[in-house]
Amino acid sequence: MTQFNDRVEKQRLKIEAEEWAQGVRSIHAHSLTSLWYDNGREDGSVFDVQYNDGRVERQIQSTGETIILGKQLTGNELVEQYVRESH
Protein backbone atom coordinates (compact mmCIF):
# COMPACT_ATOMS: atom_id res chain seq x y z
CA MET A 1 0.00 0.00 0.00
CA THR A 2 2.85 2.42 0.73
CA GLN A 3 4.14 1.95 -2.82
CA PHE A 4 0.76 3.17 -4.08
CA ASN A 5 0.85 6.12 -1.67
CA ASP A 6 4.34 7.06 -2.87
CA ARG A 7 3.20 7.06 -6.51
CA VAL A 8 0.16 9.18 -5.68
CA GLU A 9 2.33 11.65 -3.74
CA LYS A 10 4.83 11.88 -6.59
CA GLN A 11 2.03 12.58 -9.09
CA ARG A 12 0.50 15.18 -6.75
CA LEU A 13 3.84 17.00 -6.50
CA LYS A 14 4.29 16.85 -10.28
CA ILE A 15 0.88 18.44 -10.88
CA GLU A 16 1.52 21.14 -8.26
CA ALA A 17 4.97 21.87 -9.73
CA GLU A 18 3.56 22.22 -13.25
CA GLU A 19 0.99 24.75 -12.01
CA TRP A 20 3.64 26.59 -9.97
CA ALA A 21 5.95 26.73 -13.01
CA GLN A 22 3.55 29.09 -14.80
CA GLY A 23 3.76 31.67 -12.00
CA VAL A 24 5.72 34.90 -12.53
CA ARG A 25 8.91 35.20 -10.48
CA SER A 26 9.94 38.67 -11.64
CA ILE A 27 9.35 41.36 -14.25
CA HIS A 28 12.08 43.65 -15.59
CA ALA A 29 11.83 46.54 -18.04
CA HIS A 30 15.36 47.64 -18.94
CA SER A 31 18.08 48.12 -21.55
CA LEU A 32 20.89 46.27 -19.72
CA THR A 33 23.22 43.76 -21.38
CA SER A 34 24.66 42.13 -18.28
CA LEU A 35 21.92 39.94 -16.85
CA TRP A 36 22.75 36.33 -15.94
CA TYR A 37 20.33 34.88 -18.48
CA ASP A 38 20.87 37.06 -21.57
CA ASN A 39 24.36 35.93 -22.65
CA GLY A 40 25.44 39.48 -23.55
CA ARG A 41 22.61 40.13 -26.00
CA GLU A 42 22.20 43.74 -27.08
CA ASP A 43 18.47 44.03 -27.69
CA GLY A 44 18.06 47.62 -26.50
CA SER A 45 14.96 48.36 -24.48
CA VAL A 46 13.25 45.12 -23.42
CA PHE A 47 10.55 43.76 -21.16
CA ASP A 48 11.54 40.48 -19.43
CA VAL A 49 9.17 38.18 -17.56
CA GLN A 50 10.85 35.41 -15.57
CA TYR A 51 8.70 32.40 -14.65
CA ASN A 52 9.13 29.95 -11.77
CA ASP A 53 10.28 27.23 -14.19
CA GLY A 54 13.38 29.27 -15.11
CA ARG A 55 12.41 30.52 -18.55
CA VAL A 56 12.50 34.22 -19.36
CA GLU A 57 10.21 35.65 -22.03
CA ARG A 58 11.79 38.77 -23.49
CA GLN A 59 9.83 41.24 -25.58
CA ILE A 60 12.11 43.51 -27.60
CA GLN A 61 10.48 46.93 -27.66
CA SER A 62 11.89 48.11 -31.01
CA THR A 63 10.62 45.08 -32.97
CA GLY A 64 7.86 43.58 -30.82
CA GLU A 65 9.62 40.22 -31.14
CA THR A 66 9.35 37.80 -28.21
CA ILE A 67 12.19 35.38 -27.49
CA ILE A 68 12.77 32.79 -24.77
CA LEU A 69 15.94 32.96 -22.64
CA GLY A 70 17.15 30.92 -19.68
CA LYS A 71 16.75 27.21 -19.01
CA GLN A 72 13.22 25.93 -18.58
CA LEU A 73 13.03 23.23 -15.92
CA THR A 74 10.92 20.15 -16.62
CA GLY A 75 10.30 16.74 -15.08
CA ASN A 76 12.21 15.85 -11.93
CA GLU A 77 14.26 19.07 -12.04
CA LEU A 78 11.05 21.11 -11.93
CA VAL A 79 9.61 19.07 -9.06
CA GLU A 80 12.86 19.36 -7.07
CA GLN A 81 12.92 23.15 -7.55
CA TYR A 82 9.27 23.40 -6.55
CA VAL A 83 9.84 21.39 -3.38
CA ARG A 84 12.93 23.47 -2.47
CA GLU A 85 11.13 26.78 -2.90
CA SER A 86 7.66 26.05 -1.62
CA HIS A 87 8.03 23.59 1.22
Instruction: List, for residues 57-84, the tens digit of each pLDDT value.
Output: 999 999 999 999 999 999 999 999 999 9
19 in any annotated domain: yes
85 in any annotated domain: no
User: In whole angstroms, what is the distance from residue 29 CA to residue 47 CA?
Assistant: 4
**How many domains are contained in the chain?**
1
User: In whole angstroms, what is the distance from residue 37 CA to residue 25 CA?
Assistant: 14
| Per-residue model confidence (pLDDT) at position 1 | 61
| Per-residue model confidence (pLDDT) at position 71 | 93
86 in any annotated domain: no
State the residue range of the domain holding 73. Answer: 2-80
User: In whole angstroms, what is the distance from residue 6 CA to residue 27 CA?
Assistant: 36
65 in any annotated domain: yes
pTM of structure? 0.87
Residue 58 burial by Cβ neighbours in a 10 Å radius (0-12, 13-18, 19+): buried
